[in-house]
Amino acid sequence: MRNKLRVCLIRILLLIISVSALILVHPKHVSTVLAQYTWTDTLAVYPSITTVLEPIRTITNNYDYPIDVKCSLIDANGITYLSLFKVSGNGTNFVLIKNGTTVVPYNLYAGLNPGETLYFSITVKPVSTLNVNQTITVQERIELYRSTSAPAPLPPISPPSFPSRLDLIITSVPRTIYVPSLSPTFSATLTIVNPQYAGVDVTVKWWLTDPQGNIVDEGEQTIYVPPQQQKQVSIQLLTPTAPGTYTLNAETTKPVIVSAKTTITIKTIPLQLIISIAFVFLTLLALARANRKS
């Protein structure tokens, strides 16, 4: 009985010694916040437009040792308008919201070496049902810590893969418009073709010039074009009042420049046609009055 008790006591003593050794070899690390910031972003959300803001802010390691950077979501107002909201930096997703639900509320970028910079960007994509402009407000907390371990070498950051070319076509536009017109505007359709294997946000602008080269009307829009697909942009332009040959110009400015243009002829309604229309109108009016009297 005494031998068994001795064995138990020896085992307990050895266990205590082992645990103590582990504590001494691996002391508990308590991280201290070196610095803390609160960022508030108020962003406009437009229907069918994905907005990418980069870089919206930067953090540079001005310490003489590696630091860890933590980004946390504090508050988000209006995320139900979004199908995607993402705060990222140097390949790390810090905050991720999908379809109005917070998927990643915080994340840590480990081992920012002295002199290195962390570039923050924000991606905002509205829900498909959004049909009017909305505003969202997002707050993030940024905390800096002394890195608890030697940073692993970072893989090289490759630039985003953008299409090397796009196709831009003016697919629908009136060739001739008679003035005076009953409508103050006319419609045209631009088609953007993305033949590459990567989707991209394309910024396209358009402008209408008169025979002297003066701009009559203009506009701009950013639209996401999926890989190996095409998207159409419907535009409204002011109807010119003076006759002549006008030029509709279109051009993508991002990510690559592609141009297209076509001409529109503005004609005055012939006097003979106006007289004929007036004669028909007066005849119909006289017949209507005669029918009333009878």
Segments forming the whole domain that contains residue 79: 33-146
Cis preceding-peptide flag for 155 (omega within 30 of 0): no
What confidence tens digit (pLDDT) does each residue in 237-246 have? 999 989 999 9
Structural domain contains residue 19:
no
Structural domain contains residue 79:
yes
What confidence tens digit (pLDDT) does each residue in 102-148 have? 788 888 888 889 999 999 888 888 888 888 888 888 888 999 998 87
Q: Does residue 29 register a pLDDT over 50? A: no
Write the burial class of residue 51 (CB in 10 Å: 0-12 exposed, 13-18 middle, 19+ buried). middle
Dihedral of CA atoms 120, 205, 131, 84 in degrees, nearest 10, equals -20
State the pLDDT at residue 237.
93
Nearest CA among 37, 102, 94 for reference residue 71: 94
Q: What is the CATH number of the domain that holds 184?
A: 2.60.40.10
Q: What's the angle, vertex CA 100, arms to CA 96 and CA 102, rounded to 5?
A: 35
Whether residue 163 contacts residue 200, with contact meaning beta carbons closer than 8 Å, is answered with yes
* 178 and 131 share one domain: no
User: Could you tell me which residue, 77 or 68, shows the higher pLDDT?
Assistant: 68
Structural domain contains residue 22:
no
**Please, which pLDDT band fits residue 51 given cuts at 50, 70 and 90?**
confident
Structural domain contains residue 202:
yes
State the pLDDT at residue 254.
80
State the pLDDT at residue 273.
66
State the pLDDT at residue 30.
46
Domain count, the chain: 2
User: H or E stretch including 278?
Assistant: helix 271-293
What confidence tens digit (pLDDT) does each residue in 60-76 have? 999 989 999 999 988 87
Range of weakest confidence among 122-126, 160-164, 207-211, 234-238: 160-164
Whether residue 177 contacts residue 266, with contact meaning beta carbons closer than 8 Å, is answered with yes
* 54 and 125 share one domain: yes
Q: What is the average pLDDT across 11-33?
A: 52
Structural domain contains residue 258:
yes
Structural domain contains residue 161:
no
221 phi, psi to nearest 5 deg: -155, 150
Structural domain contains residue 2:
no
Structural domain contains residue 16:
no
* 176 and 86 share one domain: no
28 phi, psi to nearest 5 deg: -70, 130
State the pLDDT at residue 151.
47
Q: What is the CATH number of the domain that holds 99?
A: 2.60.120
